[in-house]
Amino acid sequence: MKIAIIADSVSCPTKEQLEKYEFEIVPINVRIEGKVYRDYIDITPTQIYRMLDKIQEGWATSAPSPGDWLASYKRAMEKGAKEIICITIFKNQSATWNSARIAAEMIKSDHPDLKIEIIDSRTAGAGENILCQIAAKEREKGKTFEEIVSLIKDLTGQVRVYLLPETIKYVYRSGRVPEIVSKIGSRLPLKIIMGVHLDKVSFEGTALSKEKGVEKILKTLRETYDKNYPDIILMHADAQKEIEELSKKVSDLLPQSQITISDFSAVTGYMTGPGTLLLGFIAKK
CATH of the domain at 248: 3.30.1180.10
pLDDT(56) > 80:
no
Q: Could you tell me if 47 and 116 lie in one domain?
A: yes
Range of the domain at 191: 159-282
Lowest mean pLDDT among 126-140, 188-202, 247-261: 188-202
Q: Kindly report the number of other CB atoms within 10 A of residue 199's CB atom.
A: 16
Q: Could you tell me if 143 and 174 lie in one domain?
A: no
In the beta sheet, which residues pair with residue 2?
81
pLDDT for res 262:
97
Q: Note whether 48 and 174 are within 8 A (CB).
A: no
pLDDT(187) > 80:
no
In angstroms, the CA 192 to CA 68 distance is 35
Q: Could you tell me if 48 and 137 lie in one domain?
A: yes
φ and ψ at residue 258, rounded to 5 degrees: -115, 105
In the beta sheet, which residues pair with residue 164?
277
- pLDDT, average across residues 275-282: 97
The confidence band for 136, taking pLDDT boundaries of 50, 70 and 90, is very high
In the beta sheet, which residues pair with residue 232?
259
- pLDDT, average across residues 238-244: 97
